[in-house]
Amino acid sequence: MSQQAINKVVVAGGGTAGWMTACALASQLGHYLNVVLVESENIPTVGVGEATIPTMQTFHLLLQLPEQEFMRATNATFKLGIEFENWGAIGESYFHSFGETGRDFWAGQFQHFWLRERLNGGQFSYADYSPETQAARAGKFAITKNPRLGFAYHLDAGLYAKYLRRVSESRGVTRIEGKIQTVKLEPNSGNIEALQMADGQLIDGDLFIDCTGFRGLLIEQTLHAGYEDWSHQFLCDSAVAVQTESTGELPPFTRSIARESGWQWRIPLQHRVGNGFVFASGAIGDTEATDTLLQNVVGKPLNDPRVIRFRPGKRRKTWVKNCVALGLASGFIEPLESTSIHLVSSAVIRLMRMLPLTGLCAQDIETYNRATDKELAAVRDFVLLHYKQTRRTDSDFWRYCQQMQVPDSLQDRLDIYRDSGRIYWDSDELFTVNSWNQVMLGQGVMPRHYHPAADIMPQADFAAQMAKVRQSVQQMVAQLPTHQNFLQSYCEPQ
C-alpha cells in the first residue's frame, strides 16, 4: 500500500485508551517512533471503566509500571472476581472468580470430577473448590505464590489516565492541548495526512490512532469504517453512574446486581465507591433509572448522577488505511465482565506486534482486523451467556433475553456443555474454561453427563481426593489477612 516508513504516530484523544496507547508505544518503541498525543481538556472522557481483569498485570509488566506505585496513584483495590446477584433467578447469586478451580486431569477439566461428585449425590458446590471465591466471600486477600491467587484491580479511571500521562511524558510522548477541527486526507491515497486544530495548527503523522471515544472522529466520521450493530442482542444502551462515600470494609470483588431492566455495578476503591446502572432505554427512562440507582447505593453520593449513551457493537473495520481505532472508538461491549480496559491493552499489543515500520501493508491490516473480530466475538458470546441463560420472567426485558437467538458460536458451546460438560477453548481466548464453567453453572446450565475417565478412581479414593482439595482451599483462606488490612499495608506511602 505504501512504502513510507512509520516514524511518527499521532494518538487522537486522551483518556484511558489514549494514554494506555501512548505509554505502550513510548515504552516499547520509543527509540524508533515519535509519539504525539492530542487531547482537549474541554472534552470530557467517559471515565467509568473502573474494574479490570488479570491481564492488566501482564500489561503493566510490559510497561514496567511498579504495582504499588500504580495502586497508590489510582486509589486501587484488589479484585478476585465478580459476584453476580439475581442473574439466574431473583434471590440467587454466584461468583465468577479468577484463577483456577480444583485440579484438571488428562482427559479434561476439573468440572468432570465435580460433576461425578454432584451427579452422584454430592452436596458441595463448584465454588467450594475455588480459593478466590472463598477468599472473596471471607473478605480476605494477599499476594501469594504457591498457590497463587488470581486477581485484578479496581481503579479510579480518571486518576489512571493522569498517572499514565505522567509516565508517558517522562518517556518522551509529546502532548498537544487543543480541539481537532478537521481531519485532512491525502488526495491520492485517501490516507489521513494531518489533524487541523481549532487554533490552525497542523499535526501530521504517518499512523493515526483514533481514541476519540464513541464519536470515532477519524475512523468513522472521516474514513467511514461502518458499524456492526449488536443492539438486537444487547438491549442495554445506556448507563447512569454516581460515586459514593465508602462505608465499612472494602470487599475484594465487584458486585453485579441484576435489576428489572438492566443491572447495577458496585466497585470499591480506597477513597470511594463507583456505582452505576446499565439499562435499556426502551424499557426504562432516565429519571426512573437514576432513581433506581440512587435507591440502591450505600453511602452518601459524592457527585450528581451522569447518564451515558452507548451503542452495542463494533466497527466493521478497526484499521482502515493509516488509522487504527482503539477503545470506545472501535466499538463497545457493555462492562458486565470488565473487559473494556483489557480490549485496549490487547489491541495495543497486537498493533505493536504488527506495526508496519517500513510502510503500510494490506495483509497486515487484514490480519489485524480479522484477529480483532475474533477476539470481540468471543467476548460478545461470553457476555451474552449471562443474558441468554437467565430464568427470570418478571419483565419484558428478561423474557426477551431468555428467548433471543444467539450466535451459533455461543449456541454450540451451550449445547455441548449441556450434553457432556465439555468446553472447547482456543488458547488465545480471553475467558478460560474455568470462567465458562462458573458462569454456565451459575446461570443454571447443568450438564447431563461427564467424561467417563473421571470414573477411573475408586470411590473411596475419589472422595478422599475431593475432600483434600476442599481442605487445601479452606486452609489457604484461613491464613490470609483481610483485604482491608493487606491493602493498607501494601499501599502505604513510601
The pLDDT tens digits of the residues spanning 238-272 come to: 999 999 999 889 999 999 999 999 999 999 999 99
Banded pLDDT at 147 (limits 50, 70, 90): confident
Report, as an integer, the average pLDDT of 288-303.
Answer: 97
Is 279 in the same domain as 185?
no
Please tell me whether residues 265 and 277 are part of one structural domain: yes
Between CA 259 and CA 295 the distance in angstroms is 12
For the domain that residue 199 is a member of, what is the CATH number? Answer: 3.50.50.60
pLDDT for position 491: 94
How confident is the model over 108-135, as a mean pLDDT? 95
Q: In this predicted structure, what is the pLDDT of residue 89?
A: 97
- pLDDT score, position 434: 95
**Each residue's pLDDT tens digit, 305-339:** 999 999 999 999 999 999 999 999 999 999 999 99
Domain assignment present for residue 21? The answer is yes
Q: Is the pLDDT reported for residue 48 higher than 80?
A: no
For residue 110, pLDDT over 60 is answered with yes
Q: What is the DSSP letter of 327?
A: G
Q: Where does the pLDDT of residue 49 fall: very low under 50, low under 70, confident under 90, or very high at 90 and above?
A: low
Domain encompassing residue 164: 8-50+156-230+312-360
CA pair distance 344, 346, nearest whole angstrom? 5
Q: What pLDDT shows up at residue 3?
A: 65
Q: Total domain count for the chain?
A: 2
Predicted local confidence at residue 70, as pLDDT:
98
290 and 332 fall within a common domain? no
Residues contacting 101, CB < 8 A, separation 6+: 110, 126, 127, 129, 130, 133, 434, 437, 438
pLDDT-derived band at 2 (thresholds 50, 70, 90) equals low
Backbone φ and ψ of 55, nearest 5°? -60, -20
* Residues 34 and 162 placed together within one structural domain of the fold: yes
Please check the confidence at residue 105 and state whether its pLDDT lies above 90: no
Domain identity same for 225 and 243:
no
pLDDT the model gives residue 47: 63
In terms of domains, do 206 and 319 share one? yes
pLDDT at 443 over 60: yes
Domain-embedded: residue 373: no
Look up the CATH number of the domain holding residue 247: 3.30.70
Return the active site residues.
Answer: 79
Cell of 102: 480444583
- Is it the case that residue 44 has pLDDT exceeding 80? no
Output the CA torsion sign for 243, 245, 247, 253. Answer: positive
Same domain flag for 246 and 355: no
Q: Are residues 305 and 316 in the same domain?
A: no
Question: What's the average model confidence in pLDDT over 123-134?
Answer: 97
Q: Grid coordinates representing 154?
A: 479496581
160 and 250 fall within a common domain: no
Structural domain contains residue 201: yes
Residues 330 and 282 in one domain: no
Pair (329, 226) in one structural domain? yes
Position 29 confidence tier, pLDDT thresholds 50, 70, 90: very high
Asked if 250 and 77 touch (Cβ cutoff 8 Å), the reply is yes
> What is the percent of the chain with per-residue pLDDT over 90, rounded to a whole number?
91
